Structure 1
Amino acid sequence: MRWLVFLLLLGTPAAAVTCDDFDHEGKSYTACHVDAAREALRLFHADEDGTVLGSFSAVEATLDVEMLSFAMNAGMYHDDRAPVGHYVENGIEKMRVITTEGPGNFGLLPNGIFCVNDGSAQVYETLQYVDLQPRCRDATQSGPMLVIDGALHPRFLPDGTSRFIRNGVGTSADGTQAVFVISNDPVSFFEFGTVFRDYLKLPNALYFDGKVSRLHAPSLGRSDIGFQLGPIVGVVDNGMD
């Protein structure tokens, strides 16, 4: 019997993503931890015909035998759902880097860029990204930065009153870990930033969006629906260890 159990365990696919709910400073959040060194982390925006996907189910429909073990909206977009800032998918740049200050959260400098390669993922502050010019297989620009080299964005206020459901991503210093977080309660920028700085202890983190924030986490039985999305980040899992 023990050998049977052992063989069954061997045949059980390892979880591609670990998602969990937690509380921080009295607010509820969900985090999905991705091993960027091992997992197939990708960005999605449009199909081969150029039609914007806009939803997690539409992304899954483009896959063959694979499935999405995690997905989240990944950056701000215009009314036509085109990315507001820099966007690269599978090595093809679809939108240039925006370095100027502007209206809205995107233009609340410093903002940043989430860069994905086979085996790594990093959040860069935008001017650092321009200076270093890292090669990214996939990249999406959003803003503001939440955490920059271990410090909160300088314009976040501890007593800020603007609160929304918010989502974003933080990365480890070595680029092997990416942690995607969505708040389950309305939170301020300051409150959201402290999740990455104090609870997750990640050196850099980037805000994706608010109000339209969505999470697809099958391991939690969760797949949010709502507004049509622009860029989407996800982990493609072939079901094999």
Structure 2
Amino acid sequence: MIRLAVVLCCLALPAAAVDCRDTTFEGVSMTLCEVDPAADRLQLFLYDGEGQPFGHFGTLAEALAQEIPFAMNAGMYHADRAPVGHYVEDGEEVMRVITTDGPGNFGLLPNGILCLSGGAARVYETARYVTEAPACHSATQSGPMLVIDGALHPRFLPASDSLYIRNGVGTTENGDRAVFVISNDPVNFHTFGRFFRDVLELPQALYFDGNISRLHAPQLERSDFGRPMGPIIAVTD
């Protein structure tokens, strides 16, 4: 991953309540961005007006003609960057909910869905999402869940040697707080999940990815660059 310095196009960032900062947990460097869904305009982005994936933070910012206070990759995708799981953007469903297990991290059930609706951001375990059918104006499915109702995913192993740069999101039960986290050092699922549960004290948390983990945080003069992404979540002005 290459970290590029962010060149600001103006003297001040757009007004937003996003708070990004670096921290460490058990020797692992983490960067987190706290978002207030009621105050910040949190949106999902995948395709531009021509039906082409945005792919990069810079491409999205150029299309929106604005500096973006925060952005992160937001879900797993296929080679053509189409989402692997459920994806809804501005009320339009691009991909249905996937409820079956399968290979890879996405299929390590339970997985989950981030739902944006009415000034709230909530992570749902997929079966609960299907049962409750919340009205989401935007949603993205990924997996596995990291924290489910305050408990770690049952298949996480404390001593796992599966270490990657990882990113994900945790939310409160009522959706008034969303915290997006990326590890700056390789970390296993158990440690990453405990950061959401024990440090951030969030009852629900969802894994986004480990092969493609990117953060755009101008507050920290950071905008990660690399292979093109699929779904992107961003705070816009």
Question: Shared topology, TM-score over 0.5?
Answer: yes
For residues 143 and 190 of structure 2, the distance between their equivalents in structure 1, rounded to whole angstroms, comes to: 14
Match of 2:6 in 1: none
1:159-202 Cα deviation digits (max 9, x unpaired): 10100000000001221110000000000000100110001000
For residues 26 and 219 of structure 1, the distance between their equivalents in structure 2, rounded to whole angstroms, comes to: 23
Match of 1:7 in 2: none
Match of 2:234 in 1: 234
For residues 49 and 89 of structure 2, the distance between their equivalents in structure 1, rounded to whole angstroms, comes to: 12
* Contact 1:87-1:96 within 8 A present in 2 as well: yes
For residues 104 and 96 of structure 1, the distance between their equivalents in structure 2, rounded to whole angstroms, comes to: 19
What aligned pairs does 1:165-204 form with structure 2 within 5 A after superposition?
A: 165-204=165-204
What aligned pairs does 1:34-113 form with structure 2 within 5 A after superposition?
A: 34-64=35-65, 66-113=66-113
**Could you tell me the percent identity over the aligned residues?**
63
**Aligned-pair Cα RMSD in Å:** 1.3
Paired amino acid for 1:117:
S
1:106-144 Cα deviation digits (max 9, x unpaired): 000000000012310000000000000001111000000
Paired amino acid for 1:43:
L
Instruction: Report how many residues are paired.
Output: 226
* Contact 2:13-2:69 within 8 A present in 1 as well: no
Name structure 2 gaps, 5 residues minimum. Answer: 1-11
* Contact 1:216-1:222 within 8 A present in 2 as well: yes
Paired amino acid for 2:37:
A
In the superposition, the TM-score normalised over structure 1's length comes to 0.91
Paired amino acid for 2:64:
L
Paired amino acid for 1:188:
N
Structure 1 residue 83: deviation in Å?
0.1
When residues 109 and 62 of structure 1 are mapped into structure 2, their CA distance, relative to the original with a 3 A threshold, is: same
1:3-60 Cα deviation digits (max 9, x unpaired): xxxxxxxx99654310000011111100000001111000000001110110001111
For residues 67 and 94 of structure 2, the distance between their equivalents in structure 1, rounded to whole angstroms, comes to: 25
Paired amino acid for 1:202:
L
For residues 146 and 49 of structure 2, the distance between their equivalents in structure 1, rounded to whole angstroms, comes to: 33
* Contact 2:169-2:179 within 8 A present in 1 as well: yes
For residues 67 and 15 of structure 2, the distance between their equivalents in structure 1, rounded to whole angstroms, comes to: 14
Q: Which has the larger radius of gyration?
A: 1
* Contact 2:14-2:69 within 8 A present in 1 as well: no
Name structure 1 gaps, 5 residues minimum. Answer: 1-10
SS in 2 for 1:60: helix
* Contact 1:88-1:140 within 8 A present in 2 as well: yes
Match of 1:148 in 2: 148
For residues 117 and 78 of structure 2, the distance between their equivalents in structure 1, rounded to whole angstroms, comes to: 26
